[in-house]
Amino acid sequence: MDDSALIVRAQAGDQIAFERLIKRHRAKMMSTILQVVKDREMAEDLYQDALLKIYQVFQRAEYDEKGKFLPWALRVARNLAIDQFRREKRNPQVNAGDNIAFLDHFYHTDHNQEKKMVADENRKMMRDLIRQLPDKQREVLIMRHYNQLSFKEIPN
């Protein structure tokens, strides 16, 4: 069933038609919201708000099918996300005890954690590559780089 038929049925009060219509376009609506707010939980809340707004427009028979449903629904979702973004920008949620140094600590901690994970992965890959070397080459490499021996000190 196409969007137009589902819309007619949804406006007549058919809940299943409304659910089908919404499920069909959920992913696109969510990605539109996420592009603006960049927060999954907030996006879920705004998605629910968009559904409520769409449902109310259908119930009041105010939806005009001049265009397609999806662009209109995406515009509703995007506008709600932009409104939320503007509200947060005007009224940032910062507690009185917060300070920039405290927030910087978390940024650096996350950044350092990422560096540690990359370094650990590199060490693991290096160990795997060393294990693949022939025995004599592996022995020379280990003695030189890990035991700090020079090439002159390596026994025959």
pLDDT band at 43 (very low <50, low <70, confident <90, very high): very high
Return the higher-pLDDT residue of 3 and 119.
3
Let me know: does 37 contact 46? Beta carbons within 8 Å.
yes
More confident residue, 21 or 124: 21
In a domain, 95, yes or no: no
The range of the structural domain enclosing residue 77 comes to 3-90
What's residue 118's pLDDT? 77
What's the mean pLDDT in 81-87? 87
| Of the candidates 50, 1, 5, the residue with the CA atom closest to the CA atom of residue 26 | 50
- As given in the structure block, the two tokens for residue 6 are 């589902």
22 in the same domain as 78: yes
Q: Find tokens 């629904």 and name the residue.
A: 73
What is residue 149's predicted lDDT score, i.e. its pLDDT? 66
Contacts of 54 (CB under 8 A, 6+ apart): 22, 73, 76
Q: Is the pLDDT of residue 98 over 70?
A: no
User: Domain check: are 86 and 10 in the same one?
Assistant: yes
